[in-house]
Amino acid sequence: MENWQKYAAEAYGTFVLVGVGTGAILAASVAGGGIIEIAFAFGLALMAALYTVGRISGGHFNPAVTLGMFLDQRISAADMVGYWVAQVAGGILASLALAFIISKDAVAGTITAVNSQFVDTFGGFVGEALLTMIFVMAVLVMSKSTSYTKYLGIGFTLTAVHLIGIPFTGASVNPARSLAPAIVGGEYSDIWIYLAGPAAGAVLAWVLYKFIVTGDTDLVDDIKDMV
Tens of pLDDT along the chain (227 residues) come to: 789 999 999 999 999 999 999 999 999 999 888 999 999 999 999 999 999 999 999 999 999 999 999 999 999 999 999 999 999 999 999 999 999 999 999 999 999 999 999 999 999 999 999 999 999 999 999 999 999 899 999 999 999 999 999 999 999 999 999 999 999 999 898 999 999 999 999 999 999 999 999 998 877 666 766 66
Q: 49 and 183 in contact (C-beta within 8 Å)?
A: no
Determine the 3-state secondary structure of 188 from DSSP: coil
- Cβ-Cβ contacts under 8 Å for 50 (sequence gap 6 or more): 13, 59, 61, 151, 154, 155
Separation between Cα atoms, residue 162 and residue 172, nearest integer Å: 8
Separation between Cα atoms, residue 176 and residue 192, nearest integer Å: 12
Q: Give me the domains of the chain, ranges plus CATH numbers.
A: 3-226 (1.20.1080.10)
- How many degrees, rounded to 5, is the angle at CA 67 between CA 47 and CA 162? 40
Helix axis angle, 63-71 relative to 77-101, nearest 10°?
A: 170
